[in-house]
Structure 1
Amino acid sequence: MLIDSHCHLDRLKAAPDQLSLRQLIEQAKSRGVDYFLCVNVRQQGFRAMQAKMAEFEQIFLSAGVHPLDVQDGLDTTKIHDYLNDPKVVAIGETGLDYFYANETKALQQQCFEQQIALAVEVNKPLIVHTRDAREDTIAFLKQGHADKVGGVLHCFTENWEMAKAAIDLGFYISVSGIVTFKNAGDLRTVIRKVPKDRLLVETDAPYLAPVPHRGQENQPAYVRDVAEFVAQLRGESYEELADYTSSNFFSLFKDAAKLVGR
């Protein structure tokens, strides 16, 4: 069993309707991918995402506001509402991105702080996006007592010091197709160091398709390529890595584990 721990199925051009989405999920299943976490980035898009994923028991959801979408607003009372759906197993995608949107830095920090507080209040883990904001990301997680709920730094591209700081807070590190890119030498060094009990794999589909699919729209089936590459990188068998990353997923997202009886 393998799990795509972070994807945006509602944004796939290859799956504009239920039938095409069902076909993509079947393709992923044929490659051993059994579960998916479909991650929310804009509150305004949550209900449409929720409706599209409703029929698929193998798809879990998150609710939150991405740092590049903070200008569209954050209303935590609405997220509370979304949590009535048992398939919503995490808060996010939230975080800080000073690389693409340094001009909204203050608003990003405010929204991040609010979503950390919400996660602690409702006892759900955080899905964190971070880019060029290492010190602030860790500082806000510490100040907000995010260690009480844990979470994941998804699509990780930062250094070992940040990975270690997050792991010390009870967070997981998730690796995407970026690790397969030619210029990812530093990232590979970090991923080799991540303890087995703190590693996840993801696609971040429809973005960042791994080698050998670069240039294509990413899809959940390609998490198999990420997992095989990471296993080889770490000197492990694919089966071993698939097993422990799946176990890690359900250890982190406990509400997902309850839904599948694990």
Structure 2
Amino acid sequence: MKIFDSHTHLNSPEFINDVPRYLKQAADLDVDKMTIVGSNTELNRDALKLAHTYPQLYAAVGWHPEDAKFYDANAEKELEEQLDEDRVVALGEIGLDYHWDSSPQDLQRRVFKRQIEIAKSHGLPIVVHNRDAFEDTYNIIKSVGIQDTGGVMHSFNGDPEWLKKFLDLGMMISYSGVASFKNAHEVHDSVRATPLDRMMVETDAPYLTPEPHRGEQNEPGFTRYTVEAIAKERETTPEEIAAATWSNAHHFFGIKES
């Protein structure tokens, strides 16, 4: 069994000084490839460093909505340069976060829309963060359009109605450890309703640790437990979920399977 963690943060302070250990622990749990996701200048740079250092790692670079207030012409210039590097497979994570409201909502919307346009100009898919902003996230993706490049709803936590809306826009759906939470009933419903060829899996480590390790710091290897939870929910095998999401992630990110 081979598993692709489509969204993790080995570039975060929790991991950056001990990456080889976490990669070994991931491999021991059959997690063989990962996309390291940035969110601001420093974390984008570190994602790229990791992707250039380790052949099983790839990078996504972008500006998280919490950091939208720091997005300026210089940030955009550097982002556009980074998008041309050969280990960059997506623009992200970008989107809207109305829970923390670290940046004004109107600014978040402008920066989100602008980054979708940049992704399209570079022919790259987008990795979308949405927290408490389903309606606006949906409307912006619909208005700008991602049909030519694609996108993924990272750590999807919506109900089947929202699932259908985003699927109809052409989005992929990625599930994190939330899919393993006992009381995440709407997510369980969506897991069962998601076409297998539109699904990916992730950790979002160090956050959203799946059962049976909930309460501990998450790490990329724990993607395995999300795969197992999804398999249980869909009454199939972990091997089937791992194989499908492995193939889907390669196709989405434009990576040759190996």
TM-score bucket of the superposed structures, by smaller chain: over 0.9
User: Which runs of 5 or more residues in structure 1 are unaligned?
Assistant: none
SS in 2 for 1:215: coil
2:176 pairs with 1:176: yes
Partner amino acid, structure 2, of 1:228:
E
CA distance in 2, matches of 1:147, 1:77: 25
Instruction: Indicate conservation of the 8 Å contact 1:76/1:118, yes or no.
Output: no
Equivalence for 1:127:
127
Instruction: Pick the aligned partner of 2:45 from 44, 47, 52.
Output: 47
| Structure 1 length-normalised TM | 0.93
Equivalence for 2:94:
94
Instruction: Indicate conservation of the 8 Å contact 2:65/2:103, yes or no.
Output: no
State which drifts further: 43-52 or 232-241: 43-52
State which drifts further: 40-49 or 79-88: 40-49
SS in 1 for 2:147: helix
Partner amino acid, structure 1, of 2:230:
V
State which drifts further: 95-104 or 58-67: 95-104
Equivalence for 2:214:
214
Partner amino acid, structure 2, of 1:97:
D
User: Which runs of 5 or more residues in structure 2 are unaligned?
Assistant: none
Equivalence for 1:24:
22
Moved over 4 A (4+): none
Partner amino acid, structure 2, of 1:42:
N
SS in 2 for 1:96: strand
CA distance in 2, matches of 1:83, 1:38: 14
Equivalence for 2:241:
241
State which drifts further: 156-165 or 124-133: 156-165
Question: Shift in Å at residue 21 of structure 1?
Answer: 0.8
Equivalence for 1:69:
67
CA distance in 1, matches of 2:24, 2:245: 21
Partner amino acid, structure 1, of 2:22:
L
SS in 1 for 2:232: helix
Equivalence for 2:9:
8
Equivalence for 1:141:
141
SS in 2 for 1:182: coil
Partner amino acid, structure 2, of 1:191:
V
Q: Structure 1, residues 160-209: CA drift from partner, whole Å, max 9, x if none?
A: 22211111122111110012122201110111100000111100000011
| Structure 2 length-normalised TM | 0.94
Q: Structure 1, residues 101-129: CA drift from partner, whole Å, max 9, x if none?
A: 18610010000000110111111000001
* Aligned residue-pair number: 255
Instruction: Indicate conservation of the 8 Å contact 1:174/1:200, yes or no.
Output: yes
Q: CA RMSD in A?
A: 1.5
CA distance in 1, matches of 2:102, 2:190: 26
Instruction: Indicate conservation of the 8 Å contact 1:192/1:233, yes or no.
Output: yes
Identity %: 35
State which drifts further: 46-55 or 180-189: 46-55
